[in-house]
Structure 1
Amino acid sequence: MTKCGYVSVVGRPNAGKSSLLNWLVGEKIAMVSHKANATRKRSNIIVMHEDDQIVFVDTPGIHETEKLLNQFMLDEALKAIGDCDLILFLAPITDKLTHYENFLEKNKKNTKHILLLTKIDNVSNKEVLEKMQEYEQYSSKYEAIIPVSIKKQTKHGDILDVVVKYLPEHPYLYDPEIMTTEHLRDIFKEFIRESIFDNISDEIPYETDVIINRVEEKKDLDVVKATIVVQKSTQKGMIIGKGATAIKRIGKDARIKIEKLTGRKCYLELFVSIKKGWTKDKKGLKELGYDVTF
């Protein structure tokens, strides 16, 4: 009998969740940014490990805030914690234990979890061992603790062998040929958002989003038309840039990501629209795909 189950990948903002998942699946699917709170919704990334299937759930970072959009993101992370067979908690090696202690409080069902110590590339082995000893006081809470370096030392099997050990015996939930349950248009949206995060100053991306207006598959290329949504006219000016330099840079960056994923040429056309206060308004959030139910 095969093993198969849902594994939620959680941690504070910018803990390295999306980078880990892209590395495990061997493709760039999840949005990655050096800026915190880039991931806004849950998404499934499917990894086959020998005869077993692992459905990883990428989640927004666990954080507390009064902003409506951020409350939606926290709710997404909490739902993922409550609806899975196993949790991977990512803890950057330099973090204090407070983020982990916060997670333990939020894991109401006491779902089994594995602790991954991430971002160990820039510390010594001695520091890794010292951090593992710090977590030892909670050894009764976690099933295993694994130091992770996706850049060099760690192999996929170092993580996947342990994950599969704690999954139930179950037939595959999805076709083993697919890597994600996300629609292509949703992945395109995230690639454009990522390009905004990478090319525009720190404060702007958090008040932007993207609507995919149209995706058309032609014989020789994909035509993608999308609208970048901002809250203020000044933000629109920054997204477009002097002589449209900024939006051209965003478009080129996103197009390269899309073409690498699909293996086809892409014609990407971007527009910019102002939607005042959308991050603070339930209706505005819902129109952009964030169905706030609390």
Structure 2
Amino acid sequence: MTKCGYVSVVGRPNAGKSSLLNWLVGEKIAMVSHKANATRKRSNIIVMHEDDQIIFVDTPGIHETEKLLNQFMLDEALKAMGDCDLILFLAPVTDSLKYYEDFLQKNKKNTKHILLLTKIDFINNDELMVKLKEYEKYQDRYEAMIPISIKRATKKSDILDEVVKYLPEHPYLFDPEIMTTEHLRDIYKEFIRESIFENISDEIPYEADVVVNKIEEKSNVDVIKATIVVQKDTQKGMIIGKGATAIKRIGKDARIKIEKLSGKKCFLELFVSVKKNWTKNKEALKSMGYEIEN
């Protein structure tokens, strides 16, 4: 009998969740940014490990804030924790234990979890041993603790072998040939958002979103039209840039990502519109796909 189940990947903002998942699946699917709070919604990334199927759930970073959009993001992470068979908690090795202790409080169902100590290449072996010792006081709470570095040494099987131990025996939930349940429209949207994060500084990426208006798939090229939505007129000017230099740079970066995934040419046309204070208004958030409960 095969094993199959959902594994939520959680941690503080910028803990490396999306990078880990792209590495495990062997393809760039999840949005990655060096800036915190880039991931906004849950997404499923499917990894086949020998005869077993693991559905990893990428989540926004766990953090507290008053902002409505960020409340939605926290709700997404908490829902993922409550609906899964196993949790992977990512703890950068340079962090204090407060993020892990906060996670333990938020894990209301006491779902089994594996503790992954990430970014171990930033410290030496002696420092790593000290950190491992710190976490040992919680050894009755986690199923396993695995120090990892996706840049060196760690093999995918080091993580996947451990994960499947805690999954239920179950037939596959998805076609083993697919890598994600996300629609191409949503993946392309995230690629464009990632390019905004990479090319535009300060708060603007956090107050911007993307609507993919149209995808026309032809035999040798995909034609994509998308709108970047911002909150203020000044932000629109900065997204476009002097002589349209900024939006051209965003478009070029996004197109390269899209073409790498699709394997064919892409014609990407970007527009910019202003929706005043959309991140602070429940109805506006809902229209952008972020429904706030309560």
Q: What TM-score do you get using the length of structure 2 for normalisation?
A: 0.99
Q: In structure 2, what is the equivalent of residue 78 of structure 1?
A: 78
Count, aligned residues: 294
Offset of 1:284 from its aligned partner? 0.6
Offset of 1:202 from its aligned partner? 2.2
Equivalent-residue separation in structure 1 for 2:4 and 2:219 (angstroms): 38
Return the letter of the residue paired with 1:204.
I
Alignment of 1:21-170 (within 5 A): 21-170=21-170
Alignment of 1:224-239 (within 5 A): 224-239=224-239
RMSD over aligned Cα atoms: 0.5
Classify the secondary structure of the residue corresponding to 1:222: strand
Classify the secondary structure of the residue corresponding to 2:121: coil
Offset of 1:39 from its aligned partner? 0.2
Equivalent-residue separation in structure 2 for 1:172 and 1:220 (angstroms): 33
Q: In structure 1, what is the equivalent of residue 184 of structure 2?
A: 184
Offset of 1:184 from its aligned partner? 0.2
Equivalent-residue separation in structure 2 for 1:151 and 1:212 (angstroms): 33
Offset of 1:245 from its aligned partner? 0.3
Classify the secondary structure of the residue corresponding to 2:122: coil
Equivalent-residue separation in structure 2 for 1:88 and 1:152 (angstroms): 20
Return the letter of the residue paired with 1:5.
G
Equivalent-residue separation in structure 2 for 1:128 and 1:49 (angstroms): 28
Equivalent-residue separation in structure 2 for 1:154 and 1:55 (angstroms): 21
Equivalent-residue separation in structure 2 for 1:33 and 1:202 (angstroms): 13
Return the letter of the residue paired with 1:135.
Y
Q: In structure 2, what is the equivalent of residue 253 of structure 1?
A: 253
Classify the secondary structure of the residue corresponding to 1:81: helix
The runs of at least 4 aligned residues of structure 1 exceeding 2 Å deviation read none
Matched, 1:274 2:274: yes
Offset of 1:127 from its aligned partner? 1.2
Equivalent-residue separation in structure 1 for 2:221 and 2:134 (angstroms): 53
CA displacement, residues 170-222 of structure 1 (integer Å, 9 cap, x when unaligned)? 00010000000000000000000000000001211000000000000012100
Aligned-residue sequence identity (percent) comes to 81
Q: In structure 1, what is the equivalent of residue 243 of structure 2?
A: 243
Q: In structure 2, what is the equivalent of residue 12 of structure 1?
A: 12
- Greater shift in the superposed pair: 163-172 or 117-126: 117-126
Equivalent-residue separation in structure 2 for 1:202 and 1:161 (angstroms): 40
Return the letter of the residue paired with 1:90.
L
CA displacement, residues 247-288 of structure 1 (integer Å, 9 cap, x when unaligned)? 000000000000000001000000000000100111111111
Offset of 1:125 from its aligned partner? 1.3
Classify the secondary structure of the residue corresponding to 2:5: strand
Offset of 1:292 from its aligned partner? 1.4
Classify the secondary structure of the residue corresponding to 1:56: strand
Stretches of structure 2 that go unaligned for 5 or more consecutive residues are none
CA displacement, residues 72-101 of structure 1 (integer Å, 9 cap, x when unaligned)? 000000000000000000000000000000
Classify the secondary structure of the residue corresponding to 2:120: coil
Classify the secondary structure of the residue corresponding to 1:55: strand
Equivalent-residue separation in structure 2 for 1:50 and 1:7 (angstroms): 17
CA displacement, residues 34-87 of structure 1 (integer Å, 9 cap, x when unaligned)? 000000000000000000000000000000000000000000000000000000
Equivalent-residue separation in structure 2 for 1:239 and 1:75 (angstroms): 29
Equivalent-residue separation in structure 2 for 1:226 and 1:125 (angstroms): 48
Equivalent-residue separation in structure 2 for 1:203 and 1:119 (angstroms): 26
Q: What TM-score do you get using the length of structure 1 for normalisation?
A: 0.99
Equivalent-residue separation in structure 2 for 1:292 and 1:192 (angstroms): 24
Classify the secondary structure of the residue corresponding to 1:177: coil
Equivalent-residue separation in structure 2 for 1:55 and 1:127 (angstroms): 33
Return the letter of the residue paired with 2:102.
N
Return the letter of the residue paired with 1:241.
G
Offset of 1:103 from its aligned partner? 0.2
